Amino acid sequence: MATIATKAVLTIVHLGIVGVVGSAEAHAQTITNSPTIALKSGESVELGQIYWVVNCRSVLNGTPEAEILDGPPGVSVAIKAAMVTPRAQRCSKPVSGGMLLITAGSIEDPSYTTLTVRVTYRGRDGVRKPSLTYNLSLIP
């Protein structure tokens, strides 16, 4: 016959297991180390500078292009031509490049998803097509 102390310990263990399993919820998929962007209907935001430099000189033959490879409907991306300063490469003078813009159209329901954008660089050394991934929160 089990003692009261043994029954109490077993009850606590069972409650602990139920608490852990019962608190498991479905969460939106988040890509770690990717920036999170929140947009309302009709908003646009600049995501960052787009450029390709070698020795602090642009090797681009024109303004880069952007396209959405995976993302929610009603969202678009574009690159606005601009002179940008590539500080990450420790350059002090602006070079030709652009600003990456994301725009949300009419949003009816809130959502949280990933957005994959491919940027096409046409330069003297050929065409490059790296991709960028963002966590995107859309709010009506």
Q: Is 99 helix (H, G, I), strand (E, B) or coil?
A: strand
At which residue do the structure tokens 């009261």 appear?
Answer: 4
Read off the pLDDT of each residue in 112-136 and give the average, rounded to a whole number.
Answer: 95
Query: Which CATH number does the domain 34-139 belong to among 3.40.50, 1.10.3470, 1.20.120, 2.60.40?
Result: 2.60.40
How confident is the model at residue 5, as a pLDDT? 56
Could you give the maximum distance between any two Cα atoms of the chain, in Å? 85
**Beta-bridge mates of residue 82:** 97
**Beta-bridge mates of residue 75:** 104
**Beta-bridge mates of residue 117:** 68, 132
End-to-end CA distance of the chain: 62
Nearest CA-CA partner of 110 in 74, 134, 139, 135:
139
Q: What confidence tens digit (pLDDT) does each residue in 69-93 have?
A: 999 999 999 999 999 999 999 999 9
pLDDT over threshold 90, residue 10: no
- As a whole number of angstroms, the distance between CA 38 and CA 29 comes to 15
**Beta-bridge mates of residue 98:** 50, 81
State whether the Cα torsion 92-93-94-95 is positive or negative.
negative
Q: Is the pTM of this model over 0.85?
A: no
pLDDT band at 37 (very low <50, low <70, confident <90, very high): very high
State whether the Cα torsion 65-69-71-72 is positive or negative.
positive
Share the mean pLDDT of the chain: 84
